């Protein structure tokens, strides 16, 4: 079984023939809309997957909370921390701890009913501590590592005026020596796709 520690050494892909694809969604239950931009169609990524290895892709999204930038893979395995750099700008690290909970595989609900008769335990503090711990576990387990808010906006602004996006997946342990760096060309198809999403 492949250890998660080997994730940093797995392949990052920047296939020039794969266009940036816009995906618009409308939640049938809430009528809330969202829009995302990913590298390559499902068919193109399926072909890349057939070549072997684990491939990581940048993605952009816009919904109720604003813009999101992140990195994901097609195998639903944890991504871990990621470093990115646009042209000669300073490197930016995306941490699993920054990943919005909606990208976590499953949210946890803490049940403390089994200690309801113990007055010596601060149940509220314990529940808060356990919820925080489990949320962190879910973020680490996510096949997405992403940021939103001001940090996402800063990255997207750099991308809009840049020419090359570099990515290095560190995984769940900081091991830059064993990490590969993938490059994605920033071209008009990406800028147009972002504009279509209102990003």
pTM score: 0.73
Instruction: Indicate whether 178 pLDDT > 70.
Output: no
Please say if the pLDDT value at position 159 is more than 60: yes
Domain count, the chain: 1
CA 29 and chain centroid, separation? 25
Band of residue 145 on the pLDDT scale cut at 50, 70, 90:
very high
Q: What's the mean pLDDT when you consider all of the chain?
A: 77
Residue 124 lies in a domain: no
Outline where the chain has alpha helix (H).
Answer: 42-50, 123-140, 149-160, 188-196
Does 125 fall in a domain? no
Domain assignment present for residue 62? The answer is yes
Q: What pLDDT was estimated at residue 82?
A: 93
- Confidence check: pLDDT of 27 > 90: no
Residue 194 has pLDDT above 80, yes or no: yes
Give the range of the structural domain holding residue 69, as residue numbers without chain letter.
4-105+141-196
Higher-confidence position of 54 and 28: 28
DSSP sequence for 147-197: EEHHHHHHHHHHHHT-SEEEEEEEETS--GGG--EEEEE--HHHHHHHHHT
Cα(first)–Cα(last) distance of the chain, in Å?
40
| Dist. CA 61–CA 35, nearest whole Å | 6
Asked if the model's pLDDT at residue 87 lies above 80, the reply is: yes
- Structure confidence at residue 154 as a pLDDT band (50, 70, 90): very high
More confident residue, 147 or 182: 147
Confidence of residue 15 (pLDDT cuts 50, 70, 90): very low
**Is 129 a residue whose pLDDT tops 60?**
yes
Q: How far apart are CA 70 and CA 95, in angstroms?
A: 10
Residue 118 lies in a domain: no
**Band of residue 9 on the pLDDT scale cut at 50, 70, 90:** very low
Q: What is the CATH number of the domain that holds 75?
A: 2.60.40
Residue 130 lies in a domain: no
Averaged pLDDT for residues 75-93: 92
Query: Does any domain span residue 29?
Result: yes
- The confidence score (pLDDT) of residue 16 equals 46
């Amino acid at each position: 079984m492949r250890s998660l520690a080997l994730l940093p050494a797995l392949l990052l892909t920047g296939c020039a023939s794969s266009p940036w694809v816009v995906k618009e969604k409308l939640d049938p239950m809430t009528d809330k809309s969202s829009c995302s931009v990913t590298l390559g169609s499902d068919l193109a990524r399926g072909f890349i997957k057939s070549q072997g290895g684990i491939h990581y892709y940048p993605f952009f999204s816009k919904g109720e909370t604003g813009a999101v930038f992140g990195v994901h893979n097609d195998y639903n395995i944890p991504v871990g921390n990621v470093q990115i750099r646009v042209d000669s700008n300073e490197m930016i690290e995306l941490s699993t701890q920054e990943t919005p909970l909606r990208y976590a595989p499953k949210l946890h609900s803490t049940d403390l009913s089994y200690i309801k008769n113990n007055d010596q335990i601060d149940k509220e503090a314990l529940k808060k501590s356990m919820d925080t711990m489990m949320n962190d576990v879910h973020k680490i387990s996510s096949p997405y590592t992403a940021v939103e808010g001001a940090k996402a906006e800063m990255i997207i602004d750099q991308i809009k005026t840049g020419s090359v996006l570099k990515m290095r997946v560190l995984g769940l342990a900081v091991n830059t020596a064993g990490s590969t760096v993938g490059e994605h060309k920033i071209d008009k198809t990406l800028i147009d796709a972002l504009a279509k999403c209102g990003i």
